[in-house]
Amino acid sequence: MSKPVIAISVGCPSGIGPEVAVKAAAEARDATIVLVGDRRVIERAAAIVGVANKRLVDVDARSMGALTARKGARFIGCFASAAPLALAKAPPGKPTREGGAAQLAWIDQATDFVVSGDARALVTGPVSKSAIASSSRASRHFRGHTEHLAARCGAKEVVMAFWAKELTIALVTTHLPLARVAAALTPKNVAGAVYFTADLVARLGAKKPRIVVTGLNPHAGEDGLLGREEPRRIAPGIELGRRRVAQAGIRGVITGPVGAETAIRNARAGKYDAVVAMYHDQATIPMKLVGFGEAVNVTLGLPIIRTSVDHGTGYDIAGKGVADARGMKAAIELAVRLAGQRRR
């Protein structure tokens, strides 16, 4: 089989995204990589990480066949139509308004490249949400890849998840102020998170996915003493999720609601295949404790495959050639695995 084409939006041009993207692309063995970003930004990153400029080849949809036919040549594609950006507007470590506009354009161009079928999966580099949101009136509501890609792809239901060798965890809510989380929890979105998490785990090889769902409150509400969201919102959502998982033909075992600290500890110990958490930091704090640098962010529910690094823009080390590319390599590897699996 031919290697799948993976499109990578390189992230904020003033951060470490271009560096880790080029480095990981140079070492990719199971995929043909197309970097989506300004060619000069990519060339600068290549020089920083020691990748020969001659390995960078301009491509578009019409020339992809020629790139993928170069077996063993280890060329790295650069999307020829990527939005341009002057290097003066992308100083390492200092995000700019122009860089914010460019990184959003690169996300959209890479997404469209995958939606069109010219690439099999999208991998995204780390962006500056504030730089994007402040770059124009049209982008002022940008809050993250998950929400933006859902809108661009017309996905009615998406779930943010993180995968690592030690832990897989998904979120019912994403980028919300903590004060709004309880009101945002509904049986429907709890059920959606349960279903998509079971589907992900099944696609990655679990014959009978074991999913544990956390509570929102300490000790999962302690029978109503510490909160009523568990019986009123989360438990009904778990039941809906069980039915949805069964209807999809997945032989899953769904447990919960369970206190978050217990659920996550037991999942890491191997009792469960994945956790469904209620809000952002309930999921990301344990994930970054056990898998930082190697965990992969996955957006579930999109009509395309999208993975990403779990780290930020790294402005303090941008341009120094010391950025660790393990997270980008892991994101590429998971995208390749998912590209070879059946979608439900």
| Domains, the chain, ordered by start | 1-155+302-344 (3.40.718.10), 157-301 (3.40.718.10)
At 270, list the tokens: 């191997």
Is 338 a residue whose pLDDT tops 90?
A: yes
The predicted structure's pLDDT at residue 214: 98
At 34, list the tokens: 């197309």
The predicted structure's pLDDT at residue 324: 96
Which comes out higher in pLDDT, residue 292 or 125? 125
Average pLDDT over residues 3-25: 97
Q: How far apart are CA 189 and CA 180, in angstroms?
A: 15
The predicted structure's pLDDT at residue 71: 57
The predicted structure's pLDDT at residue 2: 76
Percent of the chain's residues with pLDDT above 70? 97
pLDDT band of residue 1 (cuts 50, 70, 90) is low
The predicted structure's pLDDT at residue 70: 66
The predicted structure's pLDDT at residue 343: 53
Q: Which amino acid is present at 255?
A: T
Query: In this structure, are residues 34 and 119 in contact, taking their beta carbons and an 8 Å threshold?
Result: yes
Which residue carries 């560096």 as its tokens?
19
The interaxial angle of helices 187-203 and 235-247, nearest 10 deg, is 40
Average pLDDT over residues 198-219: 97
Q: How far apart are CA 283 and CA 261, in angstroms?
A: 10
Query: In this structure, are residues 215 and 257 in contact, taking their beta carbons and an 8 Å threshold?
Result: yes
The predicted structure's pLDDT at residue 69: 66
The predicted structure's pLDDT at residue 291: 87
Q: How many CB atoms lie within 10 A of CB 190?
A: 27
Query: In this structure, are residues 41 and 144 in contact, taking their beta carbons and an 8 Å threshold?
Result: no
Give the model confidence (pLDDT) of 106-123 as tens digits.
Answer: 999 999 999 999 999 999
The predicted structure's pLDDT at residue 342: 55
Q: How far apart are CA 319 and CA 91, in angstroms?
A: 9
pLDDT band of residue 340 (cuts 50, 70, 90) is confident
225 contacts: CB under 8 Å, gap ≥ 6: none
Q: How far apart are CA 295 and CA 196, in angstroms?
A: 18
Query: In this structure, are residues 99 and 85 in contact, taking their beta carbons and an 8 Å threshold?
Result: yes
The predicted structure's pLDDT at residue 175: 87
Is 230 a residue whose pLDDT tops 80?
A: yes
Is 64 a residue whose pLDDT tops 80?
A: no
Is 63 a residue whose pLDDT tops 80?
A: no
Give the model confidence (pLDDT) of 137-183 as tens digits.
Answer: 999 999 899 999 999 999 999 999 999 999 999 999 998 999 999 99
Burial of 128 (0-12, 13-18, 19+ CB in 10 A): buried
Three-state secondary structure call for residue 77 = strand
The predicted structure's pLDDT at residue 92: 97
pTM value surpassing 0.85: yes
Mean residue pLDDT of the chain comes to 94
